[in-house]
Amino acid sequence: MHKPYGVIKNLTKERLAMLVLSSQSIGQFLTSIGLTPSTGNARTARQRITADGLDASHFAGRGMKGFQKTDLHRARVSATKLSRYGVTVEMILEASSHGLHWCSGHKIFLPADQFNPGRATCKRCEADRAFCRVHDLPLGWYSAKLAEQDGRCFLCRRTPEEANPKKLVLFLDHDHACCPGNKSCVNCARSLLCSRCNTFVGWIERHPDLVVLIADYIAKFRKPLLGS
């Protein structure tokens, strides 16, 4: 038997093109030029995919491009990536049945409504990354500071869900004499505040002389309570 290169080299371009176009598969093409394709012990692609957890019924009359993955196949693929965290196929299937998704930031399963569509990290992780990027702080600074404050605004003690239900984040209070604008650094970042407290602190910082005047003004016009 000739080597494949020798057989193909002896064919004209026109003859080779005609054989390729008329062949339904690589095996048929090899047969048409006088070679016998080797089968060996290799499984077909369809057999391999079916054995890996894909539903063979999806192949009927559709070809290889039409197959659909089953939950078992997805769980096996995910378990391969998450095995370093001790996650198994059974754990993934159990979590999925309860509407939980794996967060690659927290390294735990969380409810699906805490994720934006198609994202591998939850909304909190995305907010953390965006916060640190905008304020030029090390990744994880927001999460560490929020945990230090028991998950609440440093002043009024409201949670991010109570203070900012749409974005679920608190705001950075920092010394503007060090870093003007939104940018900050680890030296001037002070704490996390809700929008209301952050606005008040910023205003008082810019107008400290008015604080005492405002307090006196309110006290002057405060009316006594009835019955006192």
pLDDT tens readout for residues 116-173: 888 888 888 888 888 888 888 888 888 899 999 999 999 999 998 898 887 778 899 9
123-210 CATH fold: His-Me finger endonuclease fold (3.40.1800)
Following CA atoms 102, 107, 108, 109 in sequence, which dihedral angle do they give, to the nearest 10 degrees?
-10
Residue-by-residue DSSP string for 191-214: EEE-HHHHHHHHHHHH-THHHHHH
pLDDT, mean of residues 9-24? 57
In the chain, ranges of CATH 3.40.1800.10 domains: 123-210
3-state secondary structure of 113: helix
Q: Tell me how far apart the alpha carbons of residues 49 and 51 are, in angstroms, rounded to a whole number.
A: 5
> Is residue 192 within 8 Å of 171, Cβ to Cβ?
yes
